[in-house]
Amino acid sequence: MSPRAVDVLRGSLVEALEAFAGRGRVLVALDFDGVLSPIVDVPSEARALPASAEALAALVATTDVALVSGRDITDLAACASPPPGVVLVGGHGTQSSLDGPGGGRQLSDDEQALLVRLGEQLDEIAAAHPGTSVERKPMSAVLHTRAADRVVAVEATRAALAGPAALDGVHALRGKEVVEIGAVPLGKGAGLQRLREALSAAGGPVEAVLFAGDDVTDEDAFAVLAQDDGDLGVKVGSGDTRAAHRVSDPDEVALLLAHLVQLRAR
Domain-terminating residue out of 133, 152, 182: 182
Rounded to 10 degrees, the C-alpha dihedral 258/83/142/166 comes to -80
Confirm whether pTM is higher than 0.75: yes
C-beta atoms surrounding 56 within 10 Å = 25
pLDDT band at residue 1 using 50, 70 and 90 as cut-offs: low
Count: domains in the chain: 2
Of 31, 64, 215, 231, the catalytic one is 31
Q: Please spell the DSSP secondary structure of 223-237, one letter per residue.
A: HH--GGGT-EEEEES
Q: How far is CA 226 from CA 193, 222, 242, 243, in A?
A: 11, 9, 11, 11
Domain-terminating residue out of 165, 182, 199: 182
Domain containing residue 170:
109-182
pLDDT tens-digit readout, 93-149: 889 999 877 666 778 899 999 999 999 999 999 999 999 999 998 889 999 999 999
Do 143 and 39 belong together in one domain? no
Domain-terminating residue out of 153, 182, 211: 182
pLDDT tens-digit readout, 73-84: 999 999 999 999
Residue 31 annotated to the active site: yes
Do 136 and 200 belong together in one domain? no
Rounded to 10 degrees, the C-alpha dihedral 222/44/113/177 comes to 50
